[in-house]
Amino acid sequence: MRLYKFTTVLTPEEENGEVYYQVSVPALPEIVTFGESVEEAVFMAQDALELVIESRLEDGETIPVNKRASKVSKGSIVRDILVSVTHSVNTTPFTPNVKLAFA
């Protein structure tokens, strides 16, 4: 298990009179999620971070270092989020001269 810490920015947005929080992660710009409350936005950020980190590890990609937000909109909340990811690679050794059956 490995721990990763990333800075997230929760930006309040309003749509049809309802407030929600859009989440961005400066170090991982592919992560964009939201929550209807700060707590839900943080949960969604944790979930997205775990999925992206696991995916990058499975694909052999590097995990970027944490990056602070360069600009933060007024009213935004900046939170450091810690996630733990367990990653293992399971392989089957190649055995020559073994016939593989594909369905």
Distance between CA atoms of 49 and 98, rounded to whole angstroms? 40
Average pLDDT, integer, range 55-67? 91
Which structure tokens are listed for 28? Answer: 């991982």
Position 71 confidence tier, pLDDT thresholds 50, 70, 90: confident
Position 83 confidence tier, pLDDT thresholds 50, 70, 90: very high
pTM for the full predicted model = 0.79
CA-CA-CA-CA dihedral for 48, 50, 56, 62, to nearest 10: 110
Distance between CA atoms of 60 and 54, rounded to whole angstroms? 10
Average pLDDT of every residue of the chain: 88
Position 92 confidence tier, pLDDT thresholds 50, 70, 90: low
**Can you tell me whether residue 44 is helix, strand or coil?**
helix
